[in-house]
Amino acid sequence: MLAVPEPFVAYLRVYEPLSSFESPLREEVEAAVERGSVDPFDAGLWEQHLWLRSQLAAPPRLLPGENADGEVQGVGGVLVLDPKEVPTAPAATVGPGPLVCPLDVRGRAAAALVGFLGDADVPLRTAALPESVEKARTRAGAVVSELGGDAVHVLSSTWTVPLPWFVVVDPTERCVFTEPERRRVCWRVAMADARRRVARAHSVSQQSIGEDGPTRILKETGRWLERFHPHSAVELDYGGLVQLMTQDDLDADTSAEDVHAIVDAMEADDAEEVGTRYEQLRDFWSEFASREHHN
């Protein structure tokens, strides 16, 4: 069988205490945990296989995690984290455990489909969908509406990491996990620490460069984090991007340090330091982002 590479996707995830979920979702999440959590090394492949199964079904499903009639088939996969694995500042609290991150693939797929239908050219939309565009738009929009006040627990980015995401983490707390023929790179942080860092960076960025660009992303990220339990944990995971990186790339990766230095330099009105650090980030990530144009 031909090996399928993990999707070249990075993730920003929230793990909430299992006890914080309300019924009936809590019972569904508990059942998913009891069935067994997804291996974090394989999260991208698990999502990819779920989507492929939905497209290869007869008839094909519009969204993963539902049957042919559009009915939801359980909460799906979850990732589980022990609070002991989350570094915290003295004033931050994480837990109680277990901490759970529902992968929310159906809702995320629906949101992505709504965006695709709004941006793609007509021939591409027609070729990509097995049913009428308007029917797909209506169904996907309904799923997004079902989320209501709830937020998906996972944000994703293809081919690169949005630089404002590095504001969330402590640069010194990077974790590199290795197993035979595979590797994982991530940071973990207490929700209280993540919110504090994002709020400060947003304030500094707003005063320095205005409301657009990174400031807007920081504002949206802060609003997203506020929708979860305050004793949750946040994880920035390079996901499938590590397949593009050599050990030398990882040794040279100072992205988190550079982003935090940029925030400090903006606060100190040090334009030269901001420019130097930004050039380092651009040089490092442009190599990986450019590969999207060859695929």
pLDDT of amino acid 2: 45
Lowest mean pLDDT among 114-118, 191-195, 265-269: 114-118
Mean pLDDT along residues 139-161 = 76
Q: Nearest Cα to 96, choosing from 104, 84, 106, 87?
A: 84
SS3 9: strand
In the DSSP assignment, the letter for residue 91 is: T
Contact 170, 193 (CB under 8 A): yes
- Residue boundaries of the structural domains of the chain: 1-21+80-85+92-103+157-295, 39-76+105-151
pTM: 0.87
pLDDT digits (tens, 9 = 90+) for 52-104: 777 777 777 777 766 666 566 556 789 999 999 998 888 788 889 799 999 88
pLDDT at 80: 96
DSSP notation for 176-219: EEEETTEEEEEEEEEHHHHHHHHHHHHHHHHHHH-SSTHHHHHH
CA dihedral 44, 292, 219, 91 (to 10 degrees): 50
Share of the chain above pLDDT 70, in %: 85
CA atoms of 289 and 255, how far apart (whole Å):
14
Q: What is the average per-residue pLDDT within 39-58?
A: 82
Categorize the per-residue pLDDT at 1 as very low, low, confident or very high, splitting at 50, 70 and 90: very low
164 burial (CB, 10 Å; 0-12 / 13-18 / 19+) is buried
Q: What is the pLDDT of residues 213-269, one digit of tens each?
A: 999 999 999 999 999 999 999 999 999 999 889 899 999 999 999 999 999 999 999
Cβ neighbours, 10 Å, residue 109:
22
Nearest to 238 by CA among 166, 152, 139: 166
